[in-house]
Each structure stands twice: as C-alpha cells, then as structure tokens.
Amino acid sequence: MENIFDDSYFMKKAIQEAEVAYEKGEIPVGAVIVIDNRIIARSHNLTEMLNDVTAHAEMQAITSAANFLGGKYLKDCTLYVTLEPCQMCAGALYWSQISKIVYAAKDHQRGYEVMGTKLHPKTEVINGIMEKEAATLLKRFFIEKRNLN
C-alpha cells in the first residue's frame, strides 16, 4: 500500500497555512511540525498582525510543538515550511535540535544558507518540495503589494 504521508502531503498542509497568511495580508509563509506522521503544530507568518519581527511561521511552530510535547527539544520532529528559514529561524531550529527540515522555495536574499547560519549537526535538510506552488504564492503577494502602493 502506498504511504500517503510523504513530504508532499505535509508540505501541502504548510502551503494551506501560507494561504491563510496571504488572506490576512501577511507575507505568505506557512509551516507545520510533524512527529510520527502526526501534525503537532501549524502556523503562518503573523509579523504584521502582531507587530513583531519574531512572529515568523517557524518560530511559532517551534514554540507550539515544544508546548505539545512538554519538552523544548524537537529531536524526532520534521518541520515543513514553504520558504527557506532566515537566520533567526535557523538559529532557533539549531537550539531545538530538530531532526529534519523540509522547505519548498529558496530565499536567495535572506535564507539561512546564503547568510551562513549553522544548523545543528544532526539536522537533515531537504528542499524543493512543491517549490513552484510556494514561490508562486509569494510572487503573487509581492506583485499585488507593489500595485497597491
């Protein structure tokens, strides 16, 4: 029997979160955290609504997953996020010792890789899953925002 719980399955859930952010006028980035094929945290960027630069989807997901687990380390968890994490989020993921990060679109300007941020040595990274869908949503947001101003 085919396993429906593959990376695309969970990335789709993260994209749904990004769509919620989009509807709120937030930069559309969404995230879910998964353990044993179970989603334990869902979140989307809320920096505008909360007036808070720390309210990235990943940061909220890390706090929420740790709260669910009752411990601050996310050793057996996977983060699915629609955009490559920034320095701040990669730094938080470093402290969380998360097992795996799957991201969709690359952030060539502010992504953690181009910025040189270090992840925990035990963290595996996969990228490019549903990249086109995630990137299209981001592009649409920025084009509309430019046209409004």
| 38-44: strand order across its sheet | 38-44, 30-35, 78-83, 100-105, 124-127
Query: Which of 5, 24, 71, 136 is in the footprint of its own copies by CB under 8 A?
Result: 71
Q: Tell me the closest approach of the beta carbon of residue 133 to its own copies, in angstroms.
A: 25
SS3 content of the chain, % helix, strand, coil (to 5): 40, 20, 40
109 near its own copies, rule: CB under 8 A = no
Rank residues 24 and 118 by Cβ distance to its own copies and give the closer one. 118
Question: Which residues between 26 and 55 bind its own copies (CB under 8 A)?
Answer: 47-48, 51-54
Q: Tell me the closest approach of the beta carbon of residue 22 to its own copies, in angstroms.
A: 19
Pick the catalytic residue from 17, 26, 58, 84: 58
56 is in an annotated binding site: yes
Dihedral sign, CA of 76, 35, 112, 73? negative
In 3D space, the residue among 133, 135, 49 whose CA is nearest the CA of residue 84 turns out to be 135
Cβ 47 vs Cβ 27: under 8 Å: yes
108 is in an annotated binding site: no
In the residue annotation, 2 being an active-site residue is answered as: no
Catalytic residues: 58
Annotated binding residues, as ranges?
56, 86, 89
